């Protein structure tokens, strides 16, 4: 049976991730409630507004349910807001903002600046090559823990990291049409 990938569908660019998964022939499902988690083998946390998604995770009762699946080793891939939600520490966040802490990173929100500073660039990814990357009010990693592999950097700051089954990008591979990072994640799921 083919692996099923969930996309956290509370807010953000869910449809771009769904398109990337469809292009790779993967079976994708939107996750709105805790019940949707039962059927999935991996979870994508999309781009969006991390403070909003954090609140919606809380009010929908999804936070604890997702946290428990992640603790059991479910593979996860977070992009931008998704990276923030997976990280162990959020800098410049709201005091009530929660994150899952399944990748040992200190991530600073909006570290690359406001929207006028948002940019596209080619980024060298270890083991993959040069990939087009879209950074939107993007965070970067200020501290990566010992168990974390840093796969790409911009200005010396880690922007793509992996720890065990968890992959986190400060940028949006789902907006560039390049499927290699989604492919990298799917290898973890299947």
Residues that bind another protein (CB under 8 A): 9-16, 32, 47-49, 51-52, 55-56, 59-60, 80-81, 92-94, 109-110, 114-123, 134-137, 154, 172, 175-176
CA 127, 133, 136, 140 torsion-angle sign? positive
> Which is closer to another protein, CB of 123 or CB of 189?
123
DSSP letter for each residue of 105-170: EEEETTTT-SGGG-EEEEEEETTTEEEEEEESS--EEEEE-TTPEEEEEETTEEEEEEETTEEEES
Shortest Cβ distance from residue 70 to another protein (Å)? 21
Catalytic, 188? Answer no
Catalytic, 80? Answer yes
Shortest Cβ distance from residue 2 to another protein (Å)? 25
Length of the chain: 190
* Catalytic, out of 16, 17, 174, 188: 174
**Residue 100 and residue 86: Cα distance in Å, rounded?**
5
* Catalytic, out of 16, 17, 161, 172: 172
* Catalytic, out of 80, 161, 182, 188: 80
Catalytic, 17? Answer no
Strands 42-45 and 129-135: unpaired
User: Per DSSP, what are the bridge partners of residue 43?
Assistant: 6, 76
Shortest Cβ distance from residue 6 to another protein (Å)? 16
- Angle subtended by helix axes 50-59 and 62-71, to nearest 10: 100
> Which is closer to another protein, CB of 48 or CB of 75?
48
Count of CB atoms situated within 10 Å of the CB of 116: 7
> Which is closer to another protein, CB of 75 or CB of 139?
139
Shortest Cβ distance from residue 71 to another protein (Å)? 25
> Which is closer to another protein, CB of 84 or CB of 189?
84
Q: Hey, which residues are catalytic here?
A: 80, 172, 174
């Amino acid at each position: 049976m083919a692996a099923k990938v969930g996309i956290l569908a509370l807010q953000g660019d869910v449809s771009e991730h769904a398109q990337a998964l469809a292009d790779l022939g993967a079976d994708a499902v939107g996750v709105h409630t805790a019940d949707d988690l039962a059927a999935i083998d991996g979870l994508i946390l999309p781009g969006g507004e991390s403070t909003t998604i954090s609140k919606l995770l809380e009010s929908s009762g999804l936070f604890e349910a997702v946290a428990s699946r992640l603790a059991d080793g479910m593979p996860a891939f977070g992009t931008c807001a998704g990276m923030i939600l997976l990280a162990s520490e959020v800098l410049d966040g709201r005091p009530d903002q929660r994150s899952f802490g399944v990748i040992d990173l200190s991530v600073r929100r909006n570290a690359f600046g406001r929207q006028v500073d948002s940019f596209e660039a080619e980024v060298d990814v270890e083991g993959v090559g040069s990939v087009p990357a879209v950074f939107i009010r993007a965070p970067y990693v200020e501290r990566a823990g010992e168990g974390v592999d840093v796969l790409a950097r911009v200005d010396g700051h880690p922007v793509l990291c992996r720890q065990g089954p968890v992959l986190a990008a400060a940028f949006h591979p789902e907006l560039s049409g390049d499927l290699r990072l989604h492919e990298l994640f799917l290898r973890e799921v299947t």
